[in-house]
Amino acid sequence: MHIHPDARAVVRATAPDQPAILNRPHAAARAARFFVEKFPGKSLYAVKANPSPDLLRVLWDAGVTHYDVASITEVKLVRATLPDATLCFMHPVKAPRAIAEAYHAYGVRTFSLDSLDELEKIRVATDGATDLTLCVRLRVSSEHSELSLASKFGCDLVDARELLQQSRQLADCLGVCFHVGSQAMSPHAYVLALEKARAAIVDAAVTVDIIDVGGGFPSVYPGMEPPPLEDYFALIDRTYESLPVSYSAELWCEPGRALCAEYNSIIVRVEKRRENELFINDGAYGALFDAAHVGWRFPVRLLREGDNDAAGDAEAVDFAFYGPTCDDMDYMQGPFPLPADVRAGDYIEIGMLGAYGAAMKTAFNGFEAVETYTVSDEPMASQYNGSRRHLRTGDNVVSLR
């Protein structure tokens, strides 16, 4: 596999007409090692954040052995890519046939649920199996998170007692899980959720074997600089240690974003400029879903051939982006600060798109084509390289020569 030093080298070598996805396997491996070594329990990778088989292999090689899958397609993908991985089907609402196939054909033993109906579905689909690990998902607050996951899934405390007690009857191992929402900006989110888990366990008076604190671990983006992950791990550990769980209980987490955000950036080309709006060749239906639909800001830098010194001197100005489709909603407000003289034909690198970025690309309007390259430079921000450095104005132009 050819490894380019960075985005500049890719543009110089290929001048891509389509968006180019850049992989940074070293960054994903570093994130995985961090969780494997420092999280005080087991880390399951939430495959939905980025299901790239190359990434799955990087995480496996770095020591991640358990995978949170949400669909039968993810079950098959991970099983085909990593035959020895342990798969945990953590979507609380599953199709009966998906449960049966996962259990009987793919060796899945761990399932999450948030209702008695789902418990019955699992019982029937697995023919009353006695070797199940069942994780009851509690609804917890998303108040500390940038993206809420508090509405759709999770059982409320009033219903948790019966669900925990009935699940205990069927389960070989019983777990309690939750999700504090994605990009949780305070470790306190996990303390609040663990206190809710404590209340549910005490109320149901059942033996609990697994506490799964879910995903939500943050990455570094413009305008979002979370506390160090060590702070999250320390508070989770301390609160977990005081919970009334079985003496051999395990602590699990399911990071998606935190393991893969730094894995990808993309190179896009400016096809047109209209004042402070840039029409680029990727967007809301491509890798920039979150930039369009939830106003997420990603770091950007200009990669220009030619008069780089002039561009480097140009004052930074805030731009908005339009994507390539014919849809008005294909719009990303940003702001994305770039040198004032950006023009059609320029290339821009957009960073931190490994989580819910590269994975979201659709073929809408025929804009699915993409090239993928591997690069060896640092991601545009990182919480694992010791610097937690943000891109600053002046860093947002890179010479091609």
Residues that bind ligand PLP (CB under 6 A): 46, 48-49, 68, 90, 149, 179, 182, 214-217, 254-258, 355
Minimum distance, C-beta of residue 182 to ligand PLP, in the bound complex (Å)? 3
Looking at the Cβ atoms of 49 and 176, the one nearer to ligand PLP is: 49
Instruction: Find residue 155's DSSP bridge partners.
Output: 138
Nearer to ligand PLP, 11 or 155 (CB): 155
In angstroms, give the least distance from the CB of 21 to ligand PLP: 19
Shortest distance in whole angstroms from residue 63 CB to ligand PLP = 18
CB nearer ligand PLP, residue 190 or residue 319: 190
Q: Which is nearer to ligand PLP, 290 or 346 (CB)?
A: 290
Virtual torsion, Cα 147, 225, 287, 379, nearest 10 deg: -150
> Measured from the CB atom, is 47 or 380 closer to ligand PLP?
47
Residue with the shortest CB distance to ligand PLP = 215
Closer Cβ to ligand PLP, 226 or 339, answer by number: 226
Min dist CB 31 to ligand PLP, Å, is: 11
The token pair at 93 is 């609402």
Q: Of 113, 110, 121, which is closest to residue 68 (Cα–Cα)?
A: 110
What is the spatial distance between Cα 182 and Cα 185, in angstroms, rounded to a whole number? Answer: 9
Burial 270-296 (b: 16+ CB within 10 A, else e): beebeeebbbbbbbbbbbbbbbbeeeb
- Provide, rounded to whole angstroms, the least separation between the CB of residue 356 and ligand PLP: 7
175 and 136 Cβ atoms separated by less than 8 Å:
yes
Minimum distance from residue 339 beta carbon to ligand PLP (Å): 32
Is 197 in a helix, a strand, or coil?
helix
DSSP sequence for 244-277:
---TT-EEEE--SHHHHGGGEEEEEEEEEEETTE
